[in-house]
Structure formats: C-alpha cells, structure tokens
Structure 1
Amino acid sequence: KMKPSATYELLVDGVGPWDFTGSFVPCELLLVGEDAYPVLVSSKKQVLIAVSHYGKGRIVVASHEGILKDSKFSQFLRNAVAWLKPSPEALVGIHPHLDSLSQLLLMAGAKVQAGAELSPSLGVYCMDAYDSTKAKDLVDFVKRGGGLLIGGQAWYWANLSLDAEFLLRGVSELDLVTGGIPSILLVHGVLSFPLCLDSSHRCLLAAARYGQGRVVVATHESQLFSPKLARFLLNAVRWLDAGRKGLVGVDASLKKLCSLLSQEEVKSQVSQLTGDLSVYCCSSYSDREAERVHAFVAEGGGLLIGGQAWYWSSQNRGKAAVAKYPGNKILNRFGLSILGQSIQAAKHLPVGSGEHYHFRKALALFNRHVDKHEELKAPLKDWLQRLAQDCAAFLHIPAHDCPAYASLHRILTKVLQRSGIPHVSRHCPVKSNSKEAVLLCMATELSLTMTDSAALVQKSAAGVCALPVTVEIDGTNPEARWELTGLTPPLKPRYLVITP
C-alpha cells in the first residue's frame, strides 16, 4: 500500500492554487476510517477532498460534485483518476450526470466511457453522491480493486443523530452488576458516543457508526445476556439491525442472549459470522475474524460486542491493552477501545440529553482553553482528570501511517508547544485535577512516541525551568514503577535521587 505522503504528492503534482470561488457550496468531509486521509483542508480546518483504501481498491471523495465538473480542477482530476486506476490501460466509466468530466478526461487522453453505468469491465467509476441504489455494487466494485471518484454535499439535509435516544429508550437504569468485573472504555472516534458514564466520567457502554454499519460495545460479556439489561439489549439489537428485521447471529459463548431475543420475537441463532446475518453478537477476546468483522460493519452490518481487558493486562504486563488486546484490534477502527483498568460493577443512570464527557469534545475545549488563556470552567474543569487518563491511553494506539490518529497526536503536540511544559517543584506542586497535570501527562506519553522529545518544548529552555535542576524522587511507595521517558529539555540538569 502506498504511503499517505507519497499518495498526496502524486495527487497534487502540477496542481496550482485551489480556487473554490464559484456557485457551488462544498460541505465538510468527516474522516473516520484508519485508511482515510485528507488531500485538501480549508483555512478553517475543514476537509474538502480526501482519499481512502477499501479492500483492494481506492476512493477519492470531493465535498461537492461541482469539483468534478470544473476545469479549474482538471489537473487534480487527471491525477486522481491515474491514482485510482488498477492498471494504466483501465477503462474509466463516467456517470451521465458528469458529462463535463468526460470531456476533461478525454482531453487528457484517458480511455473514457461516457454515460456509463457501473460495470465489472470498468477500472474506475466516477459519479455524484446522490444515488444510493447501487451502494452494495459500489462496495463490491471497490473491494475487488476498482477505483471510485465521487463527489457530493450533504449540508442541506444534515441533522443531529438521535441514536443514543433510540438505544436508551425506556431505560431508566443500567444495572451492570451482572456477575463480572467490567473494564472501562475509551470513546475516541468522531462517530462514537457514550451510553453509560459513572460519576468520574468513565465510560461503561458505548456505540458508534462506521461506514454503513453500527456497533454497540459492553465492558463485560455477561452484560450481553443479563435479564437486568433486557430492555437495553433489545434496543441495541434493533438499532444495529437498522430496520431490516434480519437474522441475528449469536456466538456460542453468548447463547443465553438468544432466549432474551426470542421473548420479543427477534430472529436469532447461535452462529459464527456469516454473510446472511444482519447483526452479529460476540465477545471481544479474539481478533481472529478482525478483517471480516470490519468489512461486515462497513458494509452495513450491526455488531454487538463485549468483554473486559483487565485480566489480559494482568497477564501481559508492559503491553498497552488499547493497542495489543485482541478485541481492540477490532474496536479501535470504530473509534472505541476497551482499556486495561477494572472498575467495580454498579448501577448507573444512562447518559442524558445534556452535556456529557467525550474525549474529543474535552480535548477541543482544552485546546481552546490553552490557546485563548481562558478561565478554567465547567464542564472542562470537571473533565480534566478523565481527559488526562484518556490522553495517556489514546497515545498508546500506534499512529504510524494512520492519519486519523496522527492528526490527534499533532494537536496534542501543538497544545504542548503553545503552553510549554509546566515547571514542577516542591514549591510549585501540581494538583491531580489541573491543567498542568493534563499537560504533564500529555508530555510524558508523547515523549514515548517521538524520536525527538525536545520538539515538544517550543519555548526557550529558560521558560521551562531554570538551572540548576534538582529532581527529588520519593521512592518509598512500594507500588511505584519509575520509567525513564527521555522527556527533558535540552539542558544538562543535575539530578538528586532520594531512595529509601
């Protein structure tokens, strides 16, 4: 697979300034997949053109179909079609709505079939985004190696999701005392959202949209067949089914769920993942079917999955559950991760319609707080400790060649560069629930992912700490574990280490 940087260079080769003046109003593209990355971003950080891979094929998406018709973008369009082709001689099919694109490509010497319908004989298909009748055929076309150039805007019909309301309809309490010790979730995707938060903003149930499909995650497998959660589970299966009234496949480890579903006349059977299922229910303890599960959800399937990661963490010390735990090799792509910490099972209220914690929302507020030097106030003031812990967890997800994660790493790095790393001493301690604690946590974890941790310190070294530097470490805590992070400013400090 071509690296994102190489793809970008190919797509913008010979392209001059982007001119978006004209009659069309582009929308903003939302990038959620690990293989998706932007090509063009506006001054307001809105993604206007993006690309992705799916299966053996490639996709280029423009934020308005007008981009595909305008001669101002002809060089980019030629580059895009060349990148999308599975072979140099591949035939390019153009939907009847994009006649002007046919002319642009013909002038460039491309082999074009104007007014074409989707066909296996094509190597690339170009269309607008307003016809969903061929969605399954398009997915199969790209999956087998075809290229798709598509453009459209959705600003005129977009509205807020009511997904959480549907999932929690009729649910006044979520009793998670189901016979197991749950873990907690990191909800980090732009289309993922919490359904159950405790008083410390730790997430215990969550859901997400991904591609054409949907996902619901529980933090212990026993939650997936507990009669105490029957109303929630029925809502979840119906939401995941998306109105198809299809067959629900249940892994043998969760077979008790079938009896709950049968009480509401939901068709279910003990089954492995097969193509005729509408919803698949399983535990999170294996990644053997990860690629099949990703494809199943992306192409419209619903996934109900649950499990804890604290036991795995206890058996795999030194490994980050967010990156290495088998279930997260499935879930990370959906913007959800099961963390290695345990939490006492208890009863909780479902997430309400008001403001509630979400990692990305909290990070955006923190970024603004640092940027504008605003007074720390609710809700961010109450979210800082959770934000610090979630930042630490998120930064363990490998970001190499994954723009979706790397972009957040860059945001965190810029926050640190603007604010500077807080000065800490006996006379200047840091409180756990403070802006400084979040910054120190970010700095520590980022330093472990960077080859040059000094890049985190944009301000002068004198602005970070003064010479001489004495670091006092109280090592009397038998539970403490110290790691050398390499996070030091470009100085030669003197360390005083106090040991028991």
Structure 2
Amino acid sequence: MNPSAAYDLLVDGVQDWDLTGDSVPCELLLTGETAFPVLVNPQGQVLIAASRYGKGRMVVVSHESYLGSSKMARFLHNAVGWLSASPGAVVGVQKSLSSLVSILSSSGTQVKPSTELIASFGVYCMDAYDAAQGRELIQFVKRGGGLLIGGQAWHWAYGHKTERVDLNLLLRGVSELDIVTDGVPSHLLVHGTLAFPLGLDSTYQCFLAAAHYGRGRVVVATHEVLLSTPKLTDFILNAIHWLGAEKRGKTGINPNLKNLHDLLTQRQMVCEISELTDNLSIYCCQSYSDNEAKKIHEFVAEGGGLLIGGQAWWWASENEGQNVLAEYPGNKILNGFGISILGETMEAGKYPALRPEEQQGHYHFRRALTQFQQHLDKKEELQPPVTDWLQKLSRDCAKVLQIPVKNGHVYASLYHILYEMVQRNGIPPVIKEHPVKGNSKEVVLLHVATALCQTISDCARLALCELPTVPSTTVEINCTNSGERISWRSTGLYLPRGNTSDLYIS
C-alpha cells in the first residue's frame, strides 16, 4: 500500500485535529524511506507519522496522552484498523493506557490490557518510555505486527546533547586526522538530520562522517584505505567502540578489508573475517557493492554498527552521465543513513580534529540551510559562519536534489523546502547594473533554481514564478586565456527551458 492510500485510511472520517490541553508534544523526525507524515502543524512540524518495517506497520504520535484522548477516537480506531494485518486480531494495550482500552472496546475491538508485548497480539499499543522489549518489538513489527506508540522526547533531550557526546567519543585522544595515503579519497555529502561530520578540510569538504539510524550507528570513510592506515589507529579504535555501543557481540570484517582485521588484531581487539551474519554487533565493509543493501539497513536499524569505506570518483569516471548519488552502489546503502559519497576527489592532507565544544561552527548541510533560510525570512544581512559556508551550501543544495524523491518522504520534504525557498525569494536578476557576487545569497538561490530545473516537472512549476527577463543586452566578456588548456567563460545569463533567444557575437 502506497503512503497516499495509507494516509486516506488513517484520516478517514477525521474532520479536524484537536490537540488542545496541557500536553506538550515533540516534533517527530522522519528518517526511514517508508515513513510518511499524517499530521503536520502550521509550523511544518510532524506530530503524527506512520511507517512500514518488514511485513508490519507502525503509527507514532508525539505525546502519549493523545492515545487516550476521546477527541482522537476516530483516528485511533482507524490507526488500529490499518495496523492490524488480520481483522479481529487481539489488540494488546499497555495497562497504563486505560483510556485507550475504553476507546477501542467501545467499537467492538478485541482488546487485552497487558504489561508486556505478547507474540500473539495483532497490534500492540504502548508509550515510548520503556525500551526493555525493544528487540522483541522490532521483530514483532518485522514479522507483520502493528505498533501504535506515543510519547515525547523533549524532556529527555534537554539533558542529552548527543552530537557533542558522540564527537567526544569518536575523536577522543585524536588531535589530527592524517588522510595522506596511497589512495585518492572522494568527499561526502552529509545530509541527514542524524548524521554529522567527523573530518573536514579547510573548504568544508567532509572525509569522515557518522550517523545514528534506528537503534544502530554508522561511520563512513571516503576511501577504504583510511580504515586500515596506522595514522588513524586511534580514530579507528574509537569508531569500533562507538559503533559497538558497549555491546559484547562480535565484530565481523568483510574479507576485502583484511588489512583492517590485521590492524585490530595487533591491538588485541577481538574480530573475525566474516560476511554479514545475524550474530554480529559490528560489520566492516567496502562501499563498492550493494548486494547486501537491504540486509545492511535492517542490521543497522535493529542495533548493529556499520563501518564502511570507499571512494566514488572511479565509478563516476567509468559511468559517465549516470547519477552518482542515485546509482553508485555504496550510495544505495548510505543514502538512507543521511550520508552519500560524491563522485569528485578531494585533496588528501593533514587536518585538525574537530572540537566538540565548537560544533555550532562546524559546517553541516542541514544546519547551514536552516540558518540561511532564517536570514532570508528575516531579510537580514548574512553573518558568519553562514557567509563562510555559502559556496559549500550552494554545491550541497544542488547535490541533494540529485537524490531521487522516490526514495522517501525525507527527500521529498527537502526537495519541497528548497523549492519553496526559491519561490518565496524569487530568482535574482543578473544584469550589468545588478551583478551577482560570487559569495552571496543570490548565488545560492541561482544554484538551487538551476538544480530544480534539471527535472521537467519542477522546471514547469518554477516557470510559474516571476522570472527576470532581459529583452536586449550587451555582455562584455574577457576571453583572455593565459593558460595552455581550453577554458570556458560564463555570460552569467540563463534561459528557462522552452524559451528561445537570439545571440549575436561581435
């Protein structure tokens, strides 16, 4: 069932949403490719969402009190009906949710109050504050069960600054990241909300990154050699400890990373050469094959740690004209984690380790985009560090739009954000009296508009906004080429698809 049809069933007969009262909900973050919003407030925050996992389904509400609200009765009936794979199946309800028991029983639903999940339930309803049966719940949904869960996380989050803690653990004892090896690295696009950079060069190109995904964790390097170079031993050991999250399971290393196995063995770390199996806690592999993509996603989502490395520039050179972000095997694994390997090289060098206490100054695509939008909305002059990020932000916006929207709501939402940004602010005119400076908000808007126009559908939609036109103009271009290689010069003008122009060269 596609998200649109599922949404229609979930909101059938719901006239309005009344969430008034003393409860303070939290915003839901959609990360999985099958997740979709059900209720979004005027500020764009998701308050109810749904998703599929394995053969099962889940619905999440942003405060447990909504699970017992009579104002939500119609939706709750719909949700349980959508979640149940078998009509008439027993619906288990956590005993603390007594109001929900009454709401569901009133419509004839077979309800059983319970202190824990029972495998025979068709649907289980609970709050989000007890992870004791986390593994069992995942398998329950994966096998075809339905999960209705509610809770807020703002109170917990107040005392847990995750990104800073993660950086402290991953970069503990590391003052410098030396990536000078015999391999040429690519660089990364870190686009997920739960993904973050671990290594940046002076132009904010990222060569190491990490992410949370489901119950698991991921660390990515832009060349497999970086996973076994002695120069990065301290970082590699930190990464293994962080990925394991203090679990005592096995670390499996794919046969194509034998050098990593040797390095870890020399440091008395228990590991084995192995393909991905269910009894591993950590799996280490290269990014050159997507044969196990689905299995890897499930492994991480259910609590596993993934250490993966590889470059994409060689694949890009051998597959000219293909979309690296969509077609490169490693990105079929990594896109869902919020990290992608790009098809360009970067200069290998020695770079200072990021300092956790300065994390707000570290370039992160999502953070940079949010701050840039805030400046646009308030019509403020751009200030550091945003001004320092503009060139990188422009390139990243264009790259993100190459990730297929069909991959899920997460990408469609980002696509919509960028489209609305151009629509609200317009496409800046480029004329002699109004030149566009290289490091300006106008350049970012032009880059995003150009990237949006790479697809026919959005080109047509963008044409609805007021495009600046130049009936007749003279452009002076200095074509001096002091080098020996052929070079190109841009006019700074663009022509919307479907339009024509006469060009005279004198």
Superposed CA offset, 1:131-159 (max 9, x none):
21111111001111111001112222212
Residue aligning to 1:95: 94
Superposed CA offset, 1:386-441 (max 9, x none):
01111111100001261101111111111111111121235544333222221111
Residue aligning to 1:73: 72
- TM (norm. structure 2) is 0.92
Residue aligning to 1:235: 238
Contact kept? 1:36, 1:50, Cα under 8 Å: yes
CA distance in 1, matches of 2:262, 2:458: 56
Contact kept? 1:470, 1:494, Cα under 8 Å: no
Residue aligning to 1:419: 425
Residue aligning to 1:456: 462
Superposed CA offset, 1:349-378 (max 9, x none):
112231110001111112122222110211
1:387 aligns with 2:393: yes
1:377 aligns with 2:380: no
CA distance in 2, matches of 1:357, 1:205: 13
Contact kept? 1:285, 1:307, Cα under 8 Å: yes
CA distance in 1, matches of 2:505, 2:262: 61
Contact kept? 1:313, 1:340, Cα under 8 Å: yes
Residue aligning to 2:161: 160
Contact kept? 2:463, 2:496, Cα under 8 Å: no
CA distance in 2, matches of 1:391, 1:289: 29
- Following superposition, the deviation at residue 472 of structure 1 comes to 9.3
SS in structure 2 at match of 1:109: coil
- TM (norm. structure 1) is 0.93
* Residues 1:486 and 1:87: Cα distance change in structure 2 (over 3 Å): farther
- Following superposition, the deviation at residue 256 of structure 1 comes to 1.5
- Following superposition, the deviation at residue 450 of structure 1 comes to 4.4
The one-letter code matched in structure 1 to 2:149 is I
Superposed CA offset, 1:266-289 (max 9, x none):
210111101111110001000000
Contact kept? 1:58, 1:142, Cα under 8 Å: yes
1:322 aligns with 2:329: no
Contact kept? 1:169, 1:235, Cα under 8 Å: yes
1:308 aligns with 2:316: no
SS in structure 2 at match of 1:430: coil
The one-letter code matched in structure 2 to 1:139 is I
Residue aligning to 1:398: 404
Q: Structure 1 vs Structure 2: percent identity of aligned residues? A: 55
Q: How many residues align?
A: 493
CA distance in 1, matches of 2:70, 2:375: 43
Residue aligning to 1:54: 53
Superposed CA RMSD in Å reads 2.4
1:67-466 equivalences under 5 Å are 67-115=66-114, 117-158=116-157, 159-161=160-162, 162-353=165-356, 354=358, 355-400=361-406, 402-426=408-432, 428-457=434-463, 459-461=465-467, 464-466=468-470
SS in structure 2 at match of 1:400: helix
Segments of structure 2 that go 5 or more residues without pairing to the other structure are none
Contact kept? 1:472, 1:496, Cα under 8 Å: no
Contact kept? 1:447, 1:487, Cα under 8 Å: no
Superposed CA offset, 1:81-116 (max 9, x none):
111111223322212122221211111222322336
**Further displaced range: 261-270 or 112-121:** 112-121
Superposed CA offset, 1:35-68 (max 9, x none):
2121112233222111111111111001111111
Contact kept? 2:25, 2:152, Cα under 8 Å: yes
The one-letter code matched in structure 1 to 2:339 is L
Superposed CA offset, 1:425-464 (max 9, x none):
3554433322222111111111123414242255434xx2
* Residues 1:458 and 1:350: Cα distance change in structure 2 (over 3 Å): farther
CA distance in 2, matches of 1:495, 1:85: 63
